[in-house]
Amino acid sequence: RPILLWFRRDLRLADHPMLHEAVRSGRPLIPVAILDPVAEGWGAAARWRWGEGLRVFGAALAARGARLVLRRGLAAEVLAQLAGETGAEAVWWSRAYDPAARARDVAVKAALRGAGMAARSFPGHLLFEPEAVATGQGTGYKLFSAYWRAASRLDPGRPLPAPGALSVPASWPASEDLAAWRLGAALRAGEDVLRHHSAPGEAAAQARLSGFLDTRSARYAERRDFPAEDATSGLSEYLTYGEVSPRTIWSETARAGGNAKFLSELGWREFAYHLLHHAPGLAQDNWNRDWDRFPWRGDNADAEAWRRGMTGEPFVDAALREMYVTGRMHNRARMVAASYLTKHLRTDWRVGLDWFADCLTDWDPAANAMGWQWVAGSGPDAAPYFRVFNPVTQAEKFDPDGAYRRRWIAEGRADPHPDARAYFQAAPRAWALDPQAAYPVRRVAPAEGRQRALDAYERWKTLK
Ligand code: FAD
């Protein structure tokens, strides 16, 4: 009897514990992907990028004689239906750790077992299962340094090889058409714009990893904060959709001579899931509930200018425009842009969290929430709220020759960078942006914005 392999954020063949075990079972395998309400709830860029990943992964399966069966609907119902059509009596998947997916998976497991089927979940998305790293008291860590000290002592094990040909059923159940899912329909910038900046799939991930280890890794620690440079790995979108496993990155980095700083950044990804495991509310609520009383502004006109990359603060605008056009934003720029929204514009971090979730092709439910709460000051091990990034000095320090800002700001330039022009072409018509118009005046002077933030912080301290 066949096994249904339900693929979600694990679109790879190599180092895939579930697939490895399935192949060893010798049973026919039916790979399935389901467009269910959880996936439909993702942001526009994430949905599109997942679809790109499915396309490439489907082709990789086809090269091994298998197919990726696509169905839309409630996961429990789709899986029961497929079991009826194929005679499968087991459904396997790789574990997901964010609250929405976890709640779904618990319900799916109960429904399948209730119907007499076997449901089994596997690790693979993380180096270490979130509960595998625990303090002496058996609780979770709140500080990254202590977490990573403990986690680094564990052995993630060796990556598993990719399987050869897959055992397949005598006949295949019908599949829906990926194009008919229209996963890119909600993209404001359009699929062609993002496609230009994204190369989906396992082979592309592997090439990106080798390229990084061969050339950029040596200067990573020194240059990773400069957004105009291609100095980081660019692996986040591959990790998000499981096109490479963190264990493969870990072991190949070790083989290439190691890189403690880079691996500790991978550790932040692990830490984000560790935090989310112990406090699922992290994804939406202030981790420290004292912040519920902070006088955040809800969505507002300044925040809208921020979303459009029209605040008049060049480093911040460059960051927002970069994300809009490429689906990515450099980490330093994420920190400065998030600080500007939550401090200078005193806007609730969830307004920014939602915009990032809609625009990032590497959107990750744990890293995004942890990143925003870190910047806002409401999270565990967070930067204190009174530490306000100055967008001008940050730009002077990390974009000293202005190359990053020039790449994204077209206004006032006779011959703007093609990416700066692309931003205006990709922006929604309703925004009525004009590259010939003058660059907007600052919505708030850096010093004034900083003072406003500090005043709000002082008020809040008397309330908490
Ligand atoms: P590298 O520097 O090459 O790092 C290697 C890997 O380590 C990354 O691919 C990523 O998986 C992980 N990593 C690095 N930095 C962090 C970090 N601070 N937190 C968690 N993991 C990290 N990352 C996402 O993957 N998805 C998000 O939605 C996301 N949202 C963020 C929101 C804010 C406000 C902030 C401040 C950071 C956010 N990050 C997010 C973290 C970080 O900015 C990106 O992981 C990084 O820029 C990706 O580029 P890279 O792959 O070249 O990273």
Would you say residue 125 has pLDDT above 90?
yes
Same-domain check for residues 456 and 337: yes
User: What pLDDT band is residue 425 in, cutting at 50, 70 and 90?
Assistant: very high
Which single residue is written with the structure tokens 């489907």?
A: 58
The closest-lying atom of ligand 1 relative to the alpha carbon of residue 335 is: 36
Would you say residue 416 has pLDDT above 80?
yes
Positive or negative, the CA dihedral 231, 307, 236, 189 is negative
In a domain, 175, yes or no: no
DSSP letters, 329-347, are --HHHHHHHHHIIIIIS-B
From the CA atom positions of the chain, what is the Rg in Å?
23
Would you say residue 381 has pLDDT above 90?
no
Is the Cβ atom of 409 under 6 angstroms away from ligand 1? no
Length, in residues, of the chain: 464
Q: Which of 231, 262, 278 is the last residue of a domain?
A: 278
Supply the pLDDT for residue 438: 96
User: What pLDDT band is residue 138 in, cutting at 50, 70 and 90?
Assistant: confident
CA distance 323 to 319: 6
Same-domain check for residues 90 and 100: yes
CATH number of domain containing 242: 1.25.40.80
CA distance 349 to 369: 9
Same-domain check for residues 331 and 459: yes
| Distance between start and end Cα atoms, the chain | 60
Quickly count: other Cβ atoms within 10 Å of residue 303's Cβ.
20
In a domain, 104, yes or no: yes
In a domain, 87, yes or no: yes
287 is catalytic: no
Measuring from atom 29 of ligand 1, which residue has the nearest CA? 368
What was the ipTM of the complex prediction?
0.99
Supply the pLDDT for residue 464: 74
CA distance 365 to 104: 15
User: What pLDDT band is residue 282 in, cutting at 50, 70 and 90?
Assistant: very high
- Candidate list 363, 372, 374, 408, residue with the active-site label: 372
The closest-lying atom of ligand 1 relative to the alpha carbon of residue 365 is: 28
Same-domain check for residues 319 and 458: yes
User: 6 is written with which tokens?
Assistant: 């339900």
In a domain, 186, yes or no: no
Residue 323, classed as helix, strand or coil, is helix
Supply the pLDDT for residue 304: 98
Residue of 269, 274, 340, 341 with the most ligand 1 atoms within 8 Å of its CB, for mutation: 269
Tens of pLDDT, residues 312-329: 999 999 999 999 999 999
User: What pLDDT band is residue 427 in, cutting at 50, 70 and 90?
Assistant: very high
Same-domain check for residues 56 and 90: yes
Same-domain check for residues 134 and 82: no
CATH number of domain containing 368: 1.10.579.10
In a domain, 177, yes or no: no
Would you say residue 383 has pLDDT above 90?
no
Is the Cβ atom of 353 under 6 angstroms away from ligand 1? no
Same-domain check for residues 56 and 138: no
The 8 Å CB, 24+ separation contacts for 18-21 are 18/92, 18/93, 18/94, 18/121, 18/122, 18/124, 19/163, 20/160, 20/161, 20/163, 21/92, 21/122
Same-domain check for residues 373 and 272: no
368 is catalytic: no
Q: Which residues contact 260 (CB under 8 A, 6 or more apart)?
A: none
The closest-lying atom of ligand 1 relative to the alpha carbon of residue 374 is: 36
Tens of pLDDT, residues 66-88: 999 999 999 999 999 999 999 99
Using alpha carbons only, give the angle 240, 181, 59 rounded to the nearest 5 degrees: 60
372 is catalytic: yes
Measuring from atom 44 of ligand 1, which residue has the nearest CA? 331
In a domain, 412, yes or no: yes
Same-domain check for residues 1 and 56: yes
Q: Which of 278, 302, 331 is the last residue of a domain?
A: 278
The residue among 291, 282, 380, 405 whose CA lies nearest residue 342 is: 291
Residue of 362, 372, 378, 404 with the most ligand 1 atoms within 8 Å of its CB, for mutation: 362
Supply the pLDDT for residue 169: 97
Tens of pLDDT, residues 166-217: 999 999 999 999 999 999 999 999 999 999 999 999 999 999 999 999 999 9
Give distance in angstroms: CA of 346 to centre of ligand 1.
23
- Candidate list 42, 181, 296, 408, residue with the active-site label: 296
Residue 70, classed as helix, strand or coil, is strand
Task: Express as a percent the part of the chain with pLDDT over 70.
Answer: 100
Amino acid letter, residue 353: L
Q: Which of 85, 106, 125 is the last residue of a domain?
A: 125
Question: How much is the average pLDDT of 138-165?
Answer: 95
CATH number of domain containing 47: 3.40.50.620
Tally of domains in the chain? 3
Same-domain check for residues 134 and 253: yes
286 is catalytic: no
User: 398 is written with which tokens?
Assistant: 């990390």
Averaged pLDDT score across all residues of the chain: 96
Supply the pLDDT for residue 384: 87
Q: Which residues contact 83 (CB under 8 A, 6 or more apart)?
A: 4, 89, 91, 115, 117
Extract the runs of DSSP E, i.e. beta strands, from 134-255: none
Supply the pLDDT for residue 371: 97
Same-domain check for residues 436 and 318: yes
Question: How much is the average pLDDT of 277-284?
Answer: 95
Is the Cβ atom of 364 under 6 angstroms away from ligand 1? yes
In a domain, 194, yes or no: no
Helix axes 365-376, 260-278, angle to 10 degrees: 90
Measuring from atom 47 of ligand 1, which residue has the nearest CA? 331
Element (H, E) at 72: strand 69-72
306 is catalytic: no
Give distance in angstroms: CA of 119 to centre of ligand 1.
32
Supply the pLDDT for residue 463: 83
User: What pLDDT band is residue 165 in, cutting at 50, 70 and 90?
Assistant: confident
User: 294 is written with which tokens?
Assistant: 């902070």
Question: How much is the average pLDDT of 394-422?
Answer: 96
Give distance in angstroms: CA of 359 to centre of ligand 1.
14
Give distance in angstroms: CA of 210 to centre of ligand 1.
19
Supply the pLDDT for residue 382: 83
Question: How much is the average pLDDT of 441-448?
Answer: 96
Supply the pLDDT for residue 355: 98
363 is catalytic: no
Same-domain check for residues 260 and 348: no
Q: 267 is in which domain, residue-wise?
A: 126-157+200-278
